[in-house]
Amino acid sequence: MKINYIQYHNYRCFDDVKVSFNTDCLQNVALVLGVNGSGKTEMLFSFQWVLYGFDFKNLREKDETPYALNSTLYHQLEVDRHAPSVDCWAELSFTHNGREYFMRRTERFMQLNGKVNSIEKVSFSYTEDNGVRSEPENDKVKVEEMISRIIPKSILEGITFDGERMKKLNIVDDSSKKVIKNVISLVTNERLFELCLGEIKDVNGDINRDRNRINRASGNVTAEELEKEIGELNEKIEDAETGSEGAKRNLEKVETKIKEISQKLAELEEAKRLEQKRKGLEKDLERAEKDFSQGLDSFQKRLVDGYFLATDQLIDDVKESLDTIDVPAGLTVEAVKSIMKRPKCICGCDMNEDVVQRLSMLLSTLPPDNISSNILYMANQFSGEKKRTKDLLNETYKSVQKSKDDVAKIKVELAQISSSLVTSVSETVRELEQERNKLFEQKGVLKEKHEKHIRDFERFNKRLKEAKKELISASGNQEQIKVLIEKGRILDKFKDAIKKIGEQNQALSLVSINQYLSNAYSQLSEDTGRRIYLCQYDSKEKYGLYTYVESRYRDVRVRKINSGEMKTWQDDGLSDNEIHEKLVLQVAEGKSTGQSKINSLAFAKAILEYSNEDRSSDTLKVSHDYPFLIDSPFTELSDDNLINVAQYINTFAHQVVIMADDVSYGWVEKYLKPYVKTKTQLIKDKENGISYVK
Amino acid sequence: MKQNPIDIVLEELKFTKTEKEGFMSFVKYAKTCQETGKNQDLKSHLENIVSEIVEKR
């Protein structure tokens, strides 16, 4: 993508101005120079306004003019109710994949009932293959969709930098992590996975509806009910996944706060001793809670056999009925028949009519073989199983009870320490302690929630698998249903693969971005002893941008090797990259202002280099070729940092648009001049507050 | 030779040759749709792929 020009009419501080950004591969820098207040930052934000609209309240020190129209014209509208409506617009022309596009955003301002109102419209067109400009598209939703395919909003935020955004990006907090996350999700093409998953869900929905229809038509109530259950289970699984992620995020936030407070407390001498004891107890508590949870789990598993305990009456009934049958044990039909063939009975009587009649009666009551003794044997076995189950349940229950008691005991001890901290030490400690206690409570609730979501997720998934199997047998031999079930199975497989590949793609992309980041930082930073790292594994710190001193990193690494901790990490299956991150986080540090700017510039360079890579043969990712737009890149930098940025800023992208004041450009002109193709000078007319191009 | 990460995942999930071909065709088509912004056909493309896999069994 290459920007050709931007043109304004009544827009902000510009009257009728057109600025061209003509560049080529050898001279790829377009320079816009102007003193402070001449409209450089306004120009930078106008790219956002024209493409996606922009809330001018976000502009620092511009909160008195939160509108796109030139303020003189706006004030005229405010005071003159007969004033005609006024249009302001900006048009951006850019070339993407060999085609020239034109995006114009117009806002018409008018006075209505004493207030200034506005209507906004957009117009998006391009040059067709025959060289003719296409009919403009004016539907805002469609235009935004088309624009976002070429240059998504988040990317625009990642490649247009003003001083404020540079600073924000570099403060490791939730908002900067969010910006970095959005930029990375776009350059790593997470959208492709979302698109695939959406389509799979859609087709799966159709298949489920088809199966329902067929089952309903054939009156197969069981299958219909199972289909309904499967649908509900799928929804519950999604809810459990979302809930689990939310609880995990909140849990992490609470844990971080607890960690911060604990650190503060540990620093206070008077609380140190109690703090150490607390730490030990917390470990004990964790262990006891784990034992409790495992014990409870195993108790619940054993409860599956708990029905044995309800079989006393059944076994008694079986034994009683066997007692009422007056049949000697081991006596079979075959044995009685054989006796009847003899001249005398085994009791010694002659085989007369009376004896034959009695034996015949016995034959009619006798089971085909000696089933009564088998039943008795089974009843006794059952009895034994019942006893074993009872013993096992008792045993696991005792273990659960013990863990529960341990947990309660440790909690009492912790509460005692907590109360000692509150009653015996300073006000600061008391306040911190109380805050931490509240957080501990929150942590407990969140942990429980998170675990419940995970249990639900596993339970629903297990049931889903069973229900799908049951559905196959309940659907009988209906060929159509069989085919639909098979299709559903294939789609499930596709879904699993997309999810896994998505995760893997992100991990690999972050490794690659980190490499670019490291190279960019080495090139730009004067501090050769420092390194930069973008966090990618630790869920709490993910997308945080950190710098560290390499020698400290090496020292910690050696210490970890000597203490055996490194070996433990390796045995735990951590990769080299994960171990590297753990070490970096231990030595990560704060930054000075000049250094912050270098960090943000290195990040921008890494993102641009990564997204501008050639991906013609890549199955998953797309190449973008974004330009780079930056306001005041040379201020707040000095010495080699300044020289490095000036020397290498042209390597950031195929087209680099720089807005700078004349003074700071003067510092770096000798480095930058060879790469500058166009230079535009903005002049401010102080009398009417209008900027124009010299 | 280093194995493609996608192949590793598909092998792990025990994709058959036909399933793998179908899956790759779906992902490649999705990427094309994403680039051109025309994804109206993606759903029917996926339906056809799945039907073909079932038929080939």
Residue A645 has pLDDT above 90, yes or no: yes
Residues 187-206 of A with CB under 8 A from B: 189, 191-192, 195-196, 199-200, 202-203, 206
Q: Which residue has the higher pLDDT, A303 or A251?
A: A251
Q: Which residues in A lie closer than 8 A to residue B50 (C-beta atoms)? A: 203, 487, 490-491
Determine which of A111-115, A369-373, A666-670 has the lowest per-residue pLDDT on average.
A369-373
The ipTM (two decimal places) reads 0.96
Helices (H) and strands (E) in chain A, counts: 21, 14
According to the model, what pLDDT value does residue A68 have? 92
H/E run at residue A571: helix A565-571
The larger pLDDT score, comparing residue A615 to residue A416, is at: A416
Query: Quick one: pLDDT at residue A162?
Result: 73
The pLDDT of residue A651 is above 90: yes
At A543-601, the pLDDT tens digits run 888 899 999 999 999 999 999 999 999 998 999 999 999 999 999 876 555 578 888 89
For testing the chain B interface, which of A143, A196, A480 should be mutated: the one with the most B CBs within 10 Å?
A196
Helix and strand numbers, DSSP H then E, in chain B: 3, 0
- The predicted pLDDT at position A168 comes to 65
Nearest CB to B50 within list A149, A192, A487? A487
Interface test mutation site (partner B, options A486, A494, A509, max chain B beta carbons within 10 A) = A494
Cα nearest neighbour of B26 on chain A: A196
pLDDT (mean) for B31-49:
86
Q: Identify which of A492, A486, A484, A487 has the alpha carbon closest to the alpha carbon of residue A464.
A: A492
Contact of A608 with A513, CB cutoff 8 Å: no
Contact assessment for residue A354 and residue A347, using Cβ atoms and an 8 Å cutoff? no
Which residue type does A440 have?
A: F
Specify the long-range contacts of residues A439-443, CB closer than 8 Å, at least 24 apart. Answer: A439/A254, A439/A257, A439/A258, A439/A261, A440/A258, A442/A254, A443/A251, A443/A254, A443/A255, A443/A258
Minimum Cα–Cα distance from A151: chain B residue: B35
Residue A36: what are its φ and ψ, rounded to 5°? -60, 135
What was the pLDDT predicted at A61?
60
> How big is chain A, counted in residues?
694
Chain B contact for A501, CB < 8 A? Answer: yes
Diameter of chain B measured on Cα atoms: 38
Which residues in chain A have their CB less than 8 angstroms from residue B12's CB?
A: 500
> What one-letter code names the amino acid at A65?
T
Average the pLDDT over A471-487 and give the result: 80
- A356 touches B at CB < 8 Å: no
Contact (CB<8Å) A487/B54 = yes
Taking the C-alpha atoms of residue A179 and residue A167, their distance in angstroms, rounded to an integer, is 12
Task: Name the more confident of A335 and B17.
Answer: B17
Quickly state the pLDDT bin for A179 (edges 50, 70, 90).
confident
Q: DSSP for A655-688?
A: SEEEEE-HHHHHHHHHHHGGGEEEEEEEEEETTT
Distance, in Å, from the CA atom of A236 to the CA atom of A243, rounded to the nearest integer, reads 10
What are the helix (H) ranges across A525-549? none
CA A494 to chain CA centroid, Å, is: 20
Give strand pairing partners of B51.
none
Averaged pLDDT, A88-114: 92
Residue A502 and residue A484: Cα distance in Å, rounded? 27
The rounded percent of chain A whose pLDDT value lies above 70 is 91
pLDDT at A143: 93
| Residues A189, A192, A193, A194, CA torsion sign | positive
Closest Cα partner for A481 from A201, A217, A200?
A217
Q: Mean pLDDT for chain A?
A: 85
Instruction: Kindly state the average pLDDT of the residues A460-488.
Output: 83
What share of chain A has pLDDT > 90, as a percent? Answer: 30
- Window 143-182 of A: residues touching B by CB (8 A cutoff) are 145-146, 149
Closest partner CB to B46 (pick from A189, A199, A496)? A199
Report the side by side order of strands in the sheet with A545-549: A530-534, A545-549, A588-589
Between residues 25 and 44 of chain B, which touch chain A (CB distance below 8 Å)?
A: 26-28, 30-31, 33-35, 37, 39, 42-43
Residue A164 has pLDDT above 70, yes or no: no
Kindly state the DSSP code that residue B4 receives in the 8-state scheme. Answer: P
Instruction: Report the DSSP pairing between strands A86-96 and A99-112.
Output: antiparallel
> CB B37 to CB A145 under 8 A?
yes
Tokens 């901290």 -> residue: A421
Mean pLDDT score, A524-551: 90
Mean pLDDT computed over A141-170: 76
pLDDT given at position B1: 44
Residue A553, CA distances (Å) to A560, A592, B49 in order: 11, 19, 51
Give the residue on A whose Cα is nearest the Cα of B52.
A487
A601-637 tens-digit pLDDT = 998 899 888 888 877 777 777 777 889 999 888 988 8
Task: Measure the CA–CA gap between A68 and A48, rounded to whole angstroms.
Answer: 12
